[in-house]
Amino acid sequence: MGNKARFFTIGTAAIAGVIGASLGRMAFADPTASPSGSAAPSPSASASAAAPATKLKGSDIPTATSDMPVMKQFSDEWTAGRQVLPTEDHSGTCTFTVVREWLRIRCIERLGASMIAGDPTDVKIYSAGSNLWEAHGRIATIVMRLRKGDNRMFYLINFDEGYDSASLTEAEKIAVYWREDADDPVILMSYF
């Protein structure tokens, strides 16, 4: 367990370093720009899911608040959401979708997720799947409201099976940061 705890600390420090480096490259907000007070979603925030994923821009996120998008069979608001990419390139098993001011992070072949830093207000974590022993079919989903000043970090949970053991282990870490003085939110993933 000692090695596991040390590995977790190193992983958290590593992602914090990457976040700091990415935030240092970001442009600062224009104090003369007027915020949009419109409650209607911008066209880019509700574009078809068939459009190619792009980087998430703060200007695409409405400042007005709305209810969390509905996830129901045959009427899923997320289906019409806009696919976005993390700030740094990734080739992981997660997809990122935006509907209005809401971000959904959906990761296949993951057993679940846990929030390890940040304010849990307006954050929901779901886990779905029918069989613990098979990776396919398992999905971890994180839904959160995007607001300036919010900084959150999550880690995904994986199920590892060995010759004579089975355990829950950490998988990727995901950080979503949006500084008050930054134009755009930052989404980072760290792989182990």
Q: What is the mean pLDDT of residues 122-130?
A: 86
pLDDT value for 77: 84
Question: Can you give the pTM of this predicted structure?
Answer: 0.69
* Predicted confidence (pLDDT) per residue in 45-54, tens digit: 444 446 788 8
Query: 28: which DSSP letter?
Result: B
Cβ(123)–Cβ(151) under 8 Å?
A: no
The token pair that represents 58 in the structure block: 């703060």
Which of 73-82, 122-131, 175-184 shows the lowest per-residue confidence on average (mean pLDDT)?
Answer: 73-82
pLDDT tens profile 47-100: 444 678 888 899 999 989 999 887 766 667 888 889 998 887 676 789 999 999
Buried b (16+ CB within 10 A) or exposed e, 74-95: eeebbeebbbbebbeebebbbb
**Cβ atoms 123, 64 nearer than 8 A:** no
